[in-house]
Amino acid sequence: MISPKPDDFKLILCVFREGLVRQLVLLEDVRSWADQIILNTEEPDYFFKELSLANTENEVIQLLNVYVREFENAICTRVLLALLYQKLVANNFQFLNEIALQQLGSLNIYRLLSPFEIDRIVELEYYDVYYGNDITQLQVDMIDFLTNYEALNLNNFEEWNQINNQIEAVFNTKQDEQELINASFAKAWDAQKRKTRNKKRLKISFILMSYLAFVIVVAVMLNAYLANGSSFLIGFIVSTIAILRNIIDGLDD
């Protein structure tokens, strides 16, 4: 076997480091992985030997920091979400919701995820706004969301790219469906606003036209007593109509 180099495994090294920091990966997981590389390689890189012999999580993290400094791509984040799901399963879903939410919040590289994923994570983080005190529904929705990542695990590293493509396809479909729902809702909302505005306009128009009729009656009565009454009547009515039109047109703004 050609001797592998640490740079060949940057993605899983990223998962190891971030997983150790968040207690989603065990020290033994990293050591066992390094042992397998050593056993299957004639001249393994010294880095793998150091991982295999590390005694603490901090030692491993320091070794990983040499090769991994930030999230490489969305796959790393999604694998960590898969590990969070596995932790929930391992604890028979008794893993505290607050702790699970903290884990979600710590994965702050949202720019690497799809808009659909970001929206769902934000909803879960601010569960008190959406759920109030309904912790049961929160747990149901959290599990439903994390189930999308269950195919990813530390043992199928070589399949991560393929699985990730499948996950992205699912989320893209869900995003398209959500956009259609949002567009439909926006259209219905606009129609409702137009309907409400038209009702308001009709009501005010009726009131104003009644007022106009009253003004005309008063003007006609005044016309009988004033000199140049006809000119006054026409001017008064025209001015009143202009004012009323401005009021009615203003309802469309």
Distance from C-alpha of 241 to C-alpha of 232, rounded to nearest angstrom: 14
Q: Please state the pTM of the whole predicted model.
A: 0.67
pLDDT computed for residue 46 by the predictor: 92
- DSSP count for the chain of H helices, then E strands: 11, 0
- End-to-end, the C-alpha distance of the chain in Å comes to 74
pLDDT computed for residue 174 by the predictor: 84
Q: How many CB atoms lie within 10 A of CB 78?
A: 25
pLDDT computed for residue 60 by the predictor: 95
Residue 132 CB partners (closer than 8 Å, separation 6+): none
pLDDT computed for residue 160 by the predictor: 95
pLDDT computed for residue 103 by the predictor: 65
Distance from C-alpha of 72 to C-alpha of 52, rounded to nearest angstrom: 23
pLDDT computed for residue 25 by the predictor: 93
Supply the DSSP string of 27-75, one letter for each residue. Answer: HHHHHHHHHHHHHT-SS--HHHHHHHH--SHHHHHHHHHTT--S--SHH
Please give the C-alpha separations between residue 35 and each of 29, 90, 95, in angstroms, as whole numbers. 10, 24, 30
Name the token pair of 199: 């009702």
Amino acid (1-letter code) at residue 158: E
Distance from C-alpha of 232 to C-alpha of 60, rounded to nearest angstrom: 96
Distance from C-alpha of 238 to C-alpha of 253, rounded to nearest angstrom: 24
pLDDT computed for residue 27 by the predictor: 95
Q: What is the mean pLDDT of each run of 10 residues along the chain (253 residues)?
A: 82 92 92 93 90 94 87 84 86 61 61 83 77 73 89 94 94 80 60 64 67 64 56 61 64 56
pLDDT computed for residue 224 by the predictor: 60
